[in-house]
Amino acid sequence: MSHVSVRGVWKEYPNQVVLERVNLEIPSGEFCALVGPSGCGKTTFLRMLLGEESPSRGSILLDGEPLVAEPGPERGVVFQRYSVFPHLTALQNVVIGREFASSRFLARLFGAQRREAEEEAKSILATVGLGAHLNKYPAELSGGMQQRLAIAQALIRKPKILLLDEPFGALDSGTKAQMYELLLRLWAEEKMTVFMVTHDLKEGFTLATRVLAFDKVRLDPTDPGAYGATITYNLPLDEKKARMAQAEAAAAEAVPAS
């Protein structure tokens, strides 16, 4: 379960209101796209979900519990760049999540535990299509492959929520299409709640089951920082969800038949 409630959240900096009166109820398993013009606070909102920043007013609840005020393993993240560790190979980049969890002091695993973690990491890397590149360093991978690696890395801790900050912003359109397919498949398999910031409206509508548009509703021309942005549209794409459920059910029927 991963129900997210946002209640009366404001985010203010000195002389600037970024977000105001944000209220939101996101049921478990939803795929939300956060869209809007640049500087409208969508990334700030994502950072608050991540725990990197905390709201000035209001609260964010995950399954009824207030969100911990720093990043933690229940929330995975993929940034546009720099999400992977440059000094570790693809395999090590994924295994490290297990090592953080199981080895408190050395953060390294040995022997059977290590082999087990490596097997798990290999299967995740195979899912994202990096099975042939286990021992390459991130700098040797293309942009799309680095993002796949970042996703694989986030998946090993099985987060309740996956946060994506313009994950495909630096990729070409062909690679993007492959990444959409991968992301939708993983989302369906892992049953995570996904929040994705994007400046590409089409991308938002293609992927998401709910589109959240951020914009300013009030504007003071003499003081641009006086009012903040809020969620101006909250569009559940129920039709699409139904279609996906249908497709899933059809797939489930097809499996025993074959």
Partner 1 sequence: MRRIINRRPGRGGVLFWGLLPFAAACAVYAVASAMRLAANPNDKLLPPLSALGEAIARVAFSPDARTGDYLLWVDTAASLQRLGLGLGVSLLIALVLGIAIGLIPYVRAGLAPFVAILSMIPPMAVLPVLFIVFGLDELSKVVLIVFGVVPFLIRDLAGRVGEIPREQLIKAQTLGASSWQIVVRVVLPQMVPRLVDALRLSLGPAWLFLISAEAIAATEGLGYRIFLVRRYMAMDVILPYVAWITLLAFVSDYLLRRFNSRFFPWMQAGKGPS
Among 58, 73, 143, 236, indicate the residue that binds partner 1 (CB under 8 A): 73
Position 71 contacts partner 1 (CB under 8 A): yes
Return the residue matching tokens 């500087």. Answer: 39
Pull the structure tokens for residue 27.
């049921």
Stretch of residues binding partner 1 (CB under 8 A), selected from 13-21, 102-110, 218-226, 248-256: 102-110
Q: CB-wise, 122 or 240, nearer to partner 1? A: 122
Position 110 contacts partner 1 (CB under 8 A): no
Q: Are strands 193-197 and 161-165 parallel, antiparallel or unpaired?
A: parallel
Give the Cα separation of 163 and 221 in Å (integer).
Answer: 33
Among 19, 35, 48, 96, indicate the residue that binds partner 1 (CB under 8 A): 96
Q: Give 219's DSSP letter.
A: -
Position 82 contacts partner 1 (CB under 8 A): yes
Return the residue matching tokens 């195979």. Answer: 126
Position 114 contacts partner 1 (CB under 8 A): no
Position 134 contacts partner 1 (CB under 8 A): no
Position 150 contacts partner 1 (CB under 8 A): yes
Position 132 contacts partner 1 (CB under 8 A): no
Give the Cα separation of 29 and 192 in Å (integer).
Answer: 5
CB 214 within 8 A of CB 34: yes
CB of 169 to partner 1, least distance (A): 13
For 150-175, letters b (16+ CB in 10 Å) and e give bbbbbbbbebbbbbbbbbbbebeeeb
Question: Under rule CB under 8 A, how many of the chain's residues touch partner 1?
Answer: 39
User: Contact positions toward partner 1, by CB under 8 A?
Assistant: 50, 52, 70-73, 75-77, 79, 81-88, 96-97, 99-101, 104-108, 136-140, 150, 153-154, 156-157, 159
